[in-house]
Amino acid sequence: MSALMQEMSAKALKLNIPLSVQIDLTYRCNERCVHCYLDHDDHGEMTTAEIKHLLDEMADAGVFILTLSGGEIFLRKDFFDLLEHARRLMFCVKLKTNAVLIREREAARLRDLGVDSIQISIYSHRPEVHDAITLIPGSLKRSLDAIRFLKSQGLKVTIANVLMTQNAQDYPGVRALAAELGVECTLDPTVTPMMDGDRGVLNLGADQNMLRQVFRDTALVGDVEEFCAIPAKPGEDDLDSTPCSAGHTACYVSPYGEVFPCVQFPLPTGNVRQQRFVDIWRHSAQMNDVRSIRLKDLTTCPSCTHVSNCTRCPGLAYLEGNMRGPSSQDCGKSFARTGVPSANMLANERAGINPLQGNSGSASLVQIRALPAVSSATA
């Protein structure tokens, strides 16, 4: 993040402005990725008119960065209509897609509409591995063709790779492929529990051995000694800081109009079919509860060695049952990085729980339900 963007984020935080919002336009998808946390049925997506109205409200609220994601965004027949509306409102638009439906024509249209960047999921440089994750034969070829079409239009593309047992050895190949294509590449070692609360999918995630290997790869982390160092004791300022931007300068809207602090933090805070976006943002009790949390307020983490540089995700903690609690996945990452168990792991061990599994979470915490469209907002 540039210094100026950091300055703008600090200003947005002070003014309580949602600088960055992700909208999932649909949960429908043309791939069936084995690790995906979504239910791919349509439970009553927002209409074109509802989404345009939401975009108007978000522009009024000061949203600048708009990420359109899914499901697969190109399955919405009104996708370009919505994108055109968003660009007319001068959002900085970022897209997340598998790109299978992007051909020359779509790439040219994205360029004409001034899209900032496109993130495309690629899990391996080998078709037999990538296609076995998406469960769609030929999907790697289609996605790579799309990247070439987008690059030929001068668009900025980032390959997003998720580290799993199935593709653990392939990330160097994906990075080489990205370099060959002239695009950026990210590697995410996080697998998210299903939105219905099912945590079985976490078994697909990278284990400790894989994490240790990745965290000691200089090509990824730079100075390994520094990256894997045991953190210094936190200062008072560290403990007074907020966990992340979720609910502070960023939030997420589902295809059904539900507003959550983040795509990975499905705490229901309101629905834009029933309330104005800005009213949910400013006045939701749940959103304000999230905002009130400081590191010193967490249940186990303040006493943990890793507290000042842990990647703890409050959403993953919420999915474990307590948004003020630890996130076991992130404890695992800190352990793999430094070899020092987290306070949560030690507590679990004492309680006879698998230290890296944590709580099982609760399906009832999660809301995926369609609400009837508000007639006045429907064309």
Partner 1 sequence: MSRLYVARNPRVAARSLDGEMMIMSGRDSTLFTLNKTATILWQSADGTTPLDEIVEHRIVPEFQVEAAEALQDAETLARELASHEILQISEEPIPQRNNAAGESRPGEAR
Q: Which residues bind partner 1 (CB under 8 A)?
A: 2, 4-5, 8, 11-12, 15, 17, 19, 59-64, 87-93, 114, 116-117, 156
Calculate the CA 251 to chain-centre distance.
11
Question: Closer to partner 1 at the Cβ: 61 or 244?
Answer: 61
Question: Closer to partner 1 at the Cβ: 33 or 253?
Answer: 253
* Pairwise CA distance, residues 238 & 232, whole Å: 11
Sequence length of the chain is 379
Question: Closer to partner 1 at the Cβ: 13 or 132?
Answer: 13
Question: Closer to partner 1 at the Cβ: 92 or 201?
Answer: 92
Closest CA to 334 of 204, 229, 193, 222: 229
Between CA 88 and CA 95, with CA 90 as vertex, the angle to 5 degrees is 95
CB of 258 to partner 1, least distance (A): 23
CB of 161 to partner 1, least distance (A): 22
Contact 161, 130 (CB under 8 A): no
CB of 16 to partner 1, least distance (A): 11
Question: Closer to partner 1 at the Cβ: 63 or 206?
Answer: 63
CB of 156 to partner 1, least distance (A): 7
Between CA 118 and CA 124, with CA 120 as vertex, the angle to 5 degrees is 155
What sign results for the dihedral spanned by CA atoms 37, 42, 46, 49?
A: positive
CB of 186 to partner 1, least distance (A): 16
Other Cβ atoms within 10 Å of 7 Cβ, number: 10
* Structure-token pair, residue 264: 């990975």
Question: Closer to partner 1 at the Cβ: 156 or 212?
Answer: 156
CB of 281 to partner 1, least distance (A): 13
Exposure pattern of 138-173 as b/e (b: 16+ CB <10 Å)?
ebbebbbebbebbeebebebbbbbbbbebbbebbee
Beta strands 258-260; 250-253: pairing state: antiparallel
* Pairwise CA distance, residues 321 & 292, whole Å: 18
* Pairwise CA distance, residues 127 & 145, whole Å: 13
CB of 274 to partner 1, least distance (A): 22
CB of 62 to partner 1, least distance (A): 5
- The two most distant CA atoms of the chain are separated, in Å, by 59
Question: Closer to partner 1 at the Cβ: 58 or 331?
Answer: 58
CB of 272 to partner 1, least distance (A): 17
* 3-class DSSP assignment, residue 363: helix
Question: Closer to partner 1 at the Cβ: 62 or 197?
Answer: 62
Question: Closer to partner 1 at the Cβ: 183 or 313?
Answer: 183
Give the strand order in the sheet containing 65-70: 184-188, 157-162, 117-121, 92-97, 65-70, 20-26, 250-253, 258-260, 270-271
Question: Closer to partner 1 at the Cβ: 111 or 324?
Answer: 111
In the 8-state DSSP scheme, what is residue 214? H
CB of 12 to partner 1, least distance (A): 6
